[in-house]
């Protein structure tokens, strides 16, 4: 059957089970959009291409499926770059499809031409410039395979206009076979035996759970291992939800803004079992002082991550779910462990806390939100102080409920990611917690939420400043604040109402509960503009060039 390249793309996406594409049209993708209208795939028109990529990422993170976004050539393609890089840093499976000028025009600087494959090469798992229409079905199938296997990540497909218009006889490949790309899922048996022996001998072990626990779906195996061997679990920002936040073995987040007891436990451990964590700089503090008494067992699907940042005693390359299942079989059950008494004392004597005052505290707002939702919401955040307050004071009960930009730290991520999350899991309550700076970056996506009848709740912790940068200036610039305080901040509740959403403003502690109930009970998008103290800081904090054991504030 003769088919155009655009038709082949749509048919191939349908065969991959794609239900939703987030995108923004333009001249180089007219043929694709014309056919998309009559396909089984729902298209969500965002208000910018960057938001389309973030929404596809949010969809992927809550469903575990590959997110898909679509943009035209030139500025449309380059506007996807931040979203693609965000997905790459956090290992989120994404397929980004871009239009391109005709193949005979490539390299001639014609209207809306850009080398998007060259631009994204450093932060995609792979990318394709489609030069032969007959290759398009294979490329689509390979792109989804590469994005979702091994260490997940984004793949880009760039389709020139003449390729989209070319006609050929369509066939869809039955299987994928890529030379040189063979992810290893089975951990080496001898390495697993060494890990089992190390765990059985350890007196003060700690599991450091990263985003790999979420993407591999091994949270049950992790919890069974922790409970069987009585091992406390510290989590990276991306690993939150690996075990229930209220569990007695949960230490919360460790790292630059980790809890006191998580950082102390990691620093005093004699064995670290790193599960799908890459030992990023924000997690480990001063590198040569990280867990000075601990041997490191590092389990990861990506061999490039093992030993990259921290020397590893027992490296294991493989799928976490399979490796942890094997380790679980060999470990000895522990009835009591004195180490846990030390952990309990650290938690009791140094809990997370904040000082009450006349000004509304953001931690109080998040605690109240947690109580009202019983910890069962899907929560996305932007990047900044509110992100860390959320990580500390909203206790996530399971994986795929916390959506945030970890590796790249992308402001403007949380709200469009929440749109993707709500479309991916429409039965769930989805909440975005944002700062006033971040929210203004993708505020127009309120229209996207309204057009698609998405009852997303947006909690804007509004302190009139770029709070995290301001805090860093307090510590590293002698308190000299430069270009962080906004001279004008709009009333976000009134902006919400102008779009047709619900808007409320909260300025006092006694208003919080009733206002949040109003927002949560709304059947349409709702914005709570919460006026908080601009001087409130995120604590604990590990200063530059300090070990995790040396923290300031918050305990």
Is 49 known to be catalytic? yes
d(CA 358, CA 227) in angstroms, rounded, equals 42
CB 165 within 8 A of CB 99: no
Are 209 and 223 in contact, with CB atoms under 8 Å apart? no
Question: Are 489 and 529 contacting, i.e. CB atoms less than 8 angstroms apart?
Answer: no
Q: Tokens for 282, please give them.
A: 């924000």
Measure CA 450 to chain center. 24
Phi-psi sector, 390: left (phi>0), alpha (psi -120 to 50), beta: alpha
The label of the residue with tokens 């993170």 reads 61
d(CA 14, CA 150): 23
Active site residue 468: yes
Closest CA to 111 of 76, 80, 70, 79: 76
Structure tokens at 540: 């604990």
User: CA-to-CA distance for 53 and 28, rounded, in angstroms?
Assistant: 18
Cβ neighbourhood burial of 56 (10 Å; 0-12, 13-18, 19+): buried
Which residues, 6+ apart, have CB-to-CB distance to 419 below 8 Å?
A: 22, 44, 46, 51, 55, 58, 445, 448, 449, 452, 454, 456
Q: Which residues contact 73 (CB under 8 A, 6 or more apart)?
A: 26, 27, 28, 29, 98, 99, 100, 101, 112, 113, 114, 116
For residues 466 and 380, give the distance between their C-alpha atoms in angstroms, rounded to a whole number: 19
> DSSP string of 310-328?
S--SEEEES-HHHHHHHHH
Catalytic residue chosen out of the listed positions 19, 112, 194, 398: 112
Q: Reply yes or no on whether 111 is catalytic.
A: yes
Residue with tokens 């031409």: 113
Q: Of residues 89, 468, 541, 551, which has the active-site annotation?
A: 468
Q: Catalytic: which of 49, 113, 142, 221?
A: 49
On whether the CB atoms of residues 56 and 418 are closer than 8 A, the answer is no
Tokens 């698609």 identify what position?
452
Q: Which of 125, 161, 295, 321 is catalytic?
A: 161
Rg of the chain, C-alpha, whole Å: 24
15, 42, 111, 356: which is the annotated catalytic residue?
Answer: 111
Strand pairing of 205-209 and 233-235?
parallel
Q: Round to whole Å and give the CA distance between 80 and 29.
A: 15
Instruction: Give me 473's structure tokens.
Output: 């200036």
- Closest by CA to 139, choosing from 39, 5, 18, is 5
Q: Which DSSP category does 25 fall into?
A: -
Give yes or no for a contact between 61 and 400, defined as CB atoms under 8 angstroms apart.
Answer: yes
> In angstroms, rounded to a whole number, what is the distance separating the alpha carbons of residues 477 and 192?
48
Catalytic residues, by residue number, are 49, 111-112, 161, 468
């Amino acid at each position: 059957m003769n088919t155009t390249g655009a038709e082949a793309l749509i048919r191939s996406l349908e065969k991959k089970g794609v239900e939703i594409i987030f995108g923004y049209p333009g001249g180089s993708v007219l043929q694709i959009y014309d056919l998309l209208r009559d396909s089984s795939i729902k298209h969500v028109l965002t208000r910018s291409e960057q938001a389309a990529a973030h929404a596809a990422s949010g969809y992927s993170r809550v469903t575990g499926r590959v997110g898909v976004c679509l943009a035209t050539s030139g500025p449309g393609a380059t506007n996807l770059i931040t979203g693609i890089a965000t997905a790459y840093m956090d290992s989120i499976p994404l397929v980004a499809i871009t239009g391109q000028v005709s193949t005979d025009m490539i390299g001639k600087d014609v209207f809306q031409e850009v080398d998007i494959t060259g631009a994204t090469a450093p932060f995609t798992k792979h990318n394709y410039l489609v030069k032969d229409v007959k290759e398009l079905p294979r490329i689509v199938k390979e792109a989804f395979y590469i994005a979702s296997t091994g260490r997940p990540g984004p793949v880009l497909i760039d389709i020139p206009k003449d390729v989209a218009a070319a006609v050929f006889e369509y066939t869809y490949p039955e299987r994928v076979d890529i030379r040189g790309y063979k992810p290893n899922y089975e951990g080496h048996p001898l390495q697993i035996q060494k890990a089992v022996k190390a765990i059985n001998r350890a007196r003060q072990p700690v599991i450091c759970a990263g985003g790999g626990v979420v993407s591999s779906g091994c949270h049950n195996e992790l919890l069974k291992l922790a409970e069987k061997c009585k091992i406390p679990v510290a989590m990276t920002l991306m690993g939150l939800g690996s075990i229930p936040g209220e569990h007695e073995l949960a230490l919360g987040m460790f790292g630059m803004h980790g809890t006191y007891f998580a950082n102390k436990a990691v620093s005093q451990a004699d064995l670290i079992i790193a599960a799908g964590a890459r030992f990023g700089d924000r997690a480990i503090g001063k590198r040569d002082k990280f867990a000075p008494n601990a041997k490191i067992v590092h389990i990861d699907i990506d061999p490039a991550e093992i030993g990259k940042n921290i020397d590893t005693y027992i490296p294991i390359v493989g799928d976490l779910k399979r490796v942890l299942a094997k380790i679980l079989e060999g470990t000895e059950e522990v009835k009591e462990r004195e180490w846990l008494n030390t952990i309990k004392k650290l938690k009791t004597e140094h809990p997370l806390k904040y000082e009450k005052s006349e000004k509304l505290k953001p931690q109080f707002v998040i605690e109240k939100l947690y109580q009202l939702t019983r910890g069962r919401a899907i929560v996305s955040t932007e990047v900044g102080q509110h992100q860390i307050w959320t990580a500390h004071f909203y206790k996530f009960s399971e994986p795929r409920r916390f959506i945030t930009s970890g590796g790249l730290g992308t402001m403007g991520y949380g709200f469009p990611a929440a749109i993707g999350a709500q479309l991916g899991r429409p039965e769930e309550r989805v909440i975005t917690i944002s700062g006033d700076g971040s929210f203004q970056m993708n505020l127009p996506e309120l229209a996207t939420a309204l057009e698609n009848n998405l009852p997303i709740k947006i909690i804007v912790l509004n302190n009139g400043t770029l709070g995290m940068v301001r805090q860093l200036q307090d510590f590293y610039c002698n308190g000299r604040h430069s270009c962080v305080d906004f001279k004008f901040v709009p009333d976000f509740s009134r902006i919400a109402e102008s779009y047709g959403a619900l808007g409320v403003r909260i300025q006092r502690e006694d208003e919080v509960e009733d206002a949040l109930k109003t927002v949560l009970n709304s059947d349409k998008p709702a914005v709570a503009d919460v006026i908080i103290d601009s001087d409130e800081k995120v604590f604990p904090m590990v200063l530059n060039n300090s070990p995790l054991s040396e923290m300031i504030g918050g305990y």
